[in-house]
Structure 1
Amino acid sequence: MDFILMTEGDTPVGLTHEHRYRELIDEVLLAERVGFDAFGSSEQHVAIGTATVSAPEVLYPYLMALTNRIRFIHLVTLLPTRMNHALRVAERIATEDILSHGRVELGTGRGNTTLALRAFEVDPTENKAQWREGIDLIRRAFLEDPFSFVGEHYKIPPRSLVPKPLQWPYPPISAATGSPSSVETAAELGIGAIMGGFYLGFDLVENLLKLYDETLAATSHPYPITPRKMVTISGGMHCAETTVLAREQAKPLFDMAKLSTGAYERLSTLSKDYAYMGAVKDVDFDDEEYMFERSQGFLVGDPDHCIEHVQRYVDMGVDALVLRVDSLPHDQLLRSIELFGKYVIPRFKHPRNVVRPADDVLADIRAARPAHEQALRKFQTEQNLLNEKESVQ
């Protein structure tokens, strides 16, 4: 299980974006120290609340220079042609891969807000096809030298990508997947699938995970594959000293969830490719027990409660958890990152190194004594028989 810290630089009223970005940097540096595997941010444009990171390709290299181990994943780079030309994405990812010494990954998507799509004049009935062509173009640019591409949205004559990425065959690629159709597409392409984000419960995510595995196994892949099952905790992860305190502090996250999903229903009416997003209208964001424990949108509690929650994903076969840690006061975010890194991550990364209560260890020692004494008796009997045999000879 990989643990990916996600923050979108949500900036509260009264604070400046400059200060929030400085806080974000501190949060990422702490995440590296306490054991998170990767950091990622979404690419959000002209967003009102919940997110301010519009240029992760600028933010990441700054953080790469300040870190040594943690990886960086774009969650996600938008591939409508009016937002990001796929060839420019390939160039940027290759450059980041070099600057980070091979620590970058490319998550991709087509956009999930009408604010951004309309601002860039993106047709929501065409951007899925543009995303699909963009994936092929990026992989071809990474693999073939020279490469070329002819499709509906891209027509690239023979060219050579400059620079080339470090990771072979290329940095891991994944896609945001909210519907069964998009999960199947990711598996057919042999790229990772980033699932979750709709607060519709664990059963939906579990079914999507099974669909991904089945489709991946049933598909022949012309390109090298980078499969990974990733699940997003989109409402938020918040870890505190007690579950009561964690829940109390995390309640403002419900407002963020309502705001961020408010556009989903509108978008679902604009294109059949987004129709599945309309299901969020049935979620009761005021049902605290459902939201915290059953919606799959939150991971909130003390370290022990968080461990139980993470184990559920492990049992499902999830490869990586994307944990949104944002939209709360900076001091609470830092404490949450610290507690999760110190007490939750080691249970899944280094369980043998986790210090156990002395009473538990002593109980196990006592329980093991009969087997040990039996082994001693068996050994002594065998030695006596051997000695008798030697004396006879």
Structure 2
Amino acid sequence: MDFILMSEGDTPVGLTHEHRYRELVEEVLLAEQVGFDAFGSSEQHVAIGTATVSAPEVLYPYLMALTSRIRFIHLVTLLPTRMNHALRVAERIATEDILSNGRIELGTGRGNTTLALRAFEVDPTENKSQWREGIELIRRAFLDDPFSFVGEHYKVPPRSLVPKPLQAPYPPISVAAGSPSSVETAAAMGIGAIMGGFYLGYDLVENMLKLYDETLAAATHPYPITPRKMVLVSGGMHCAETTALAREQARPLFEMSKLSTDAYGRLAKLSQDYAYLGAIDDVDFSDEEYLFERSQGFLVGDPEHCVEHVQRYADMGVESLVLRVDSLPHDQLMRSIELFGKYVIPRFKHPRNVVRPAGDVLADIRAARPAHEEALRRFQSGNLTAEAVR
């Protein structure tokens, strides 16, 4: 399983954007040091109170120059035509791919806030078809030389993309998929799906994962596929020395979650394509036990508690876990990243290398003794070969 650190640069009241961006850089550098596989941020515009990263394509190259291993994934680049022309996106991704030595990935989406959509005069009834054409145009630009495109939203005569991406056949592509229909679309197109339950529980996510596998297997793909099953823990991950401390420190995340999803119900009424967002209105953000343990929106606890929750995702077949680590004081975020990287990630990356408690090792040794003694008795009596004992 891959572990992706996500931050949107949530800046508390009274702090400057400059200071928060400097903190964010430190968090990404620590994430690389302790073993996270990738970093990603969403593209948020005119956001109030929850996100300040409006230009990931500017932030990422700065971070790329300071790092050597960690990958970068756009979570997500918005593809309504009034926000980002798909050809410009292809050019930017190719440039980032070169500058990072092949460490960039393109996550895409349509936008999920009325603040941003209205600011850019995006019609929510049209941006799904704009997104689909955008993906088609980007893949053609990456693959064909020259390429061309004729559609409802884009008409590009034969041209050659400059520069070309470094990764072959092209950097991995995915899409934010919050509903079963979006998951089906991603799998049918052969791109990754960034799935999240919107605080609606683990069962929804598990069903989405199964649907993705089934649809991917049944589909035919005209382009090279970049399948990937990613799950977003959108409320937040927070790891502390004890679960009680982690919960106490993480409670401000509830308010952030309410604020970040405030527009979902209104957006659901504007277009049938966003109807699935209306279910968020049924979530009780005052039910702490549900949110922490059953909503799928949070991963909060001490390292061992976090391991148990991550194992649940692993058992579902999740390939990449996207963990939002944001909206808390910088020192708490740094400690959370450090603890998770040191004590949780190795349990899934290098389990045999993790030092086990002495009591557990001794218990296993004692449990193995009867079989060993029986094998030894049979060997000494001539009924068992040394090879069989081994």
Under a length normalisation based on structure 1, what TM-score does the superposition of the two structures give? 0.96
Offset, 1:383:
9.5
Offset, 1:181:
1.1
Instruction: Indicate whether 1:258 and 2:258 are aligned.
Output: yes
- Could you say which structure has the larger radius of gyration? 1
In the alignment, the residues of structure 2 paired with residue 346 and residue 254 of structure 1 have an alpha-carbon distance, to the nearest angstrom, of: 29
- Amino acid across the alignment from 1:313: Y
Offset, 1:180:
1.2
Instruction: Indicate whether 1:241 and 2:213 are aligned.
Output: no
Post-superposition Cα deviations, 1:32-68, rounded to whole Å, max 9, x if no partner, equal: 0111010000000000011000000000000001011
SS at match of 2:77: strand
Offset, 1:203:
1.2
Instruction: Indicate whether 1:24 and 2:24 are aligned.
Output: yes
Say if 2:375 and 2:384, in contact at 8 Å, map to a contact too: no
What residue in structure 2 maps to residue 229 of structure 1?
Answer: 229
Offset, 1:207:
1.1
Gaps of 5+ in 2: 386-390
Offset, 1:198:
1.2
In the alignment, the residues of structure 2 paired with residue 217 and residue 283 of structure 1 have an alpha-carbon distance, to the nearest angstrom, of: 34
In the alignment, the residues of structure 1 paired with residue 321 and residue 189 of structure 2 have an alpha-carbon distance, to the nearest angstrom, of: 21
Post-superposition Cα deviations, 1:335-384, rounded to whole Å, max 9, x if no partner, equal: 00000001111111110010011222222223223333333444444499
In the alignment, the residues of structure 1 paired with residue 368 and residue 185 of structure 2 have an alpha-carbon distance, to the nearest angstrom, of: 52
What residue in structure 1 maps to residue 77 of structure 2?
Answer: 77
What residue in structure 2 maps to residue 95 of structure 1?
Answer: 95
Paired residues, what number?
A: 386
Say if 1:124 and 1:270, in contact at 8 Å, map to a contact too: yes
In the alignment, the residues of structure 2 paired with residue 348 and residue 359 of structure 1 have an alpha-carbon distance, to the nearest angstrom, of: 21
What residue in structure 2 maps to residue 63 of structure 1?
Answer: 63
In the alignment, the residues of structure 2 paired with residue 267 and residue 321 of structure 1 have an alpha-carbon distance, to the nearest angstrom, of: 27
Instruction: Indicate whether 1:139 and 2:139 are aligned.
Output: yes
What residue in structure 2 maps to residue 200 of structure 1?
Answer: 200
Distance 1:244 1:384, change over 3 A: closer
- Amino acid across the alignment from 2:59: L
In the alignment, the residues of structure 2 paired with residue 173 and residue 381 of structure 1 have an alpha-carbon distance, to the nearest angstrom, of: 63
RMSD: 1.5
- Amino acid across the alignment from 2:56: P
Say if 2:378 and 2:384, in contact at 8 Å, map to a contact too: no
- Amino acid across the alignment from 1:369: R
Distance 1:209 1:383, change over 3 A: closer
Offset, 1:208:
1.1
- Amino acid across the alignment from 1:97: D
- Amino acid across the alignment from 1:202: Y
In the alignment, the residues of structure 2 paired with residue 168 and residue 382 of structure 1 have an alpha-carbon distance, to the nearest angstrom, of: 59
SS at match of 1:246: helix
What residue in structure 2 maps to residue 310 of structure 1?
Answer: 310
Say if 1:197 and 1:235, in contact at 8 Å, map to a contact too: no
SS at match of 2:11: coil
Under a length normalisation based on structure 2, what TM-score does the superposition of the two structures give? 0.97
Instruction: Indicate whether 1:5 and 2:36 are aligned.
Output: no
Say if 1:187 and 1:212, in contact at 8 Å, map to a contact too: yes
In the alignment, the residues of structure 2 paired with residue 365 and residue 293 of structure 1 have an alpha-carbon distance, to the nearest angstrom, of: 34
SS at match of 1:237: strand
Provide the identity percentage.
87
Distance 1:357 1:384, change over 3 A: closer
Gaps of 5+ in 1: 386-393
